[in-house]
Amino acid sequence: MAGDREAGTAVVTGASSGIGAEYAAQLARRGWDLVLVARRADRLATVAERLGDGVAVTTVVADLADQADLVRVTERVAQDDVSLLVNNAGINGYGAFAAADAGLLAKVLGVNVVAPTVLARAALPHMTARGRGAVINVASLLAFAGSLPPVPLPHRAVYAGTKGYMVTFTRTLAAEVAATPVRVQVVCPGLTATEFHLGAGDTPVSGRERVHDEGGMPPADVVTASLSALEAREVVCVPGLRDADAVTRLTAAERALREDSGLVLAPRYRPATGDGD
């Protein structure tokens, strides 16, 4: 499906750099018409120019944390020609939770949770009615890092929580639409060689596109893995994961946790009844 030149239009959010710009490039090479969404008009124009001729490219300058902008993008996503939605836009809001700006944390929730949920809701009914389409949600390996301390990882309570939401939302939604031709995927990159870590997300990174000092996997590899996994109908794509069965083991662990939880209070939570109590 990702290689179908008659597939229609793909909407890519956060398309002005990094993983989003790479989705645009690879989808254009596969013949997709594109709607590219991001906050930075100059960066969007540069990405569109690099795509060359042969596909139709529309740019939409929008901040998905802004309600009016989100409505505009939602209306475009809901149109009949959209066969692929890539929810890539995200901001990190890194910082110790108790010291973080509450407004910034609300923006992280808006961009990372509310926007992709609303956009997927706008896209899916039309895809289901046409019998074709896909939604790709870009999460992070930090979705699985809840038990780890913030050093050497970033302070990330809200960001990791939003990515955990994206993983659970996508997996559950995939089960919901499993009987339809529509595909749903969540891709969970690890450290990626983009400019994502150069700012917290309160303001866009300005100037030419850069890569943070820590390096990481090239964004081209992340997107290559995602589109390959989409064709293989993998719901959870972890681009650097060598042991694909790890996702199966995660599912088995979740099942065991649910099945071992009964309607009787676990012994460790019962009041002590020994002598002297």
- CA diameter of the chain: 83
The DSSP code for 14 is: S
Query: How far is residue 212's CA from residue 80's CA, in Å, rounded to a whole number?
Result: 38
Answer for the pair 107, 202: CB distance below 8 angstroms, yes or no: yes
Q: Residue 135: phi, psi to the nearest 5?
A: -125, 125
How long is the chain? 277
Query: How far is residue 54's CA from residue 68's CA, in Å, rounded to a whole number?
Result: 32
Catalytic, 94? Answer: no
The backbone region for 95, taken as left when phi is positive above 0, alpha when psi lies in -120 to 50, beta otherwise, is left
Q: Residue 73: phi, psi to the nearest 5?
A: -70, -40
Reduce the DSSP state of residue 71 to 3 states and report it: helix
Q: Which residue has the tokens 């996508």?
A: 170
Query: How far is residue 177's CA from residue 191's CA, in Å, rounded to a whole number?
Result: 30
Residue from 94, 159, 165, 269 carrying the catalytic annotation: 159
Residues identified as active-site = 159
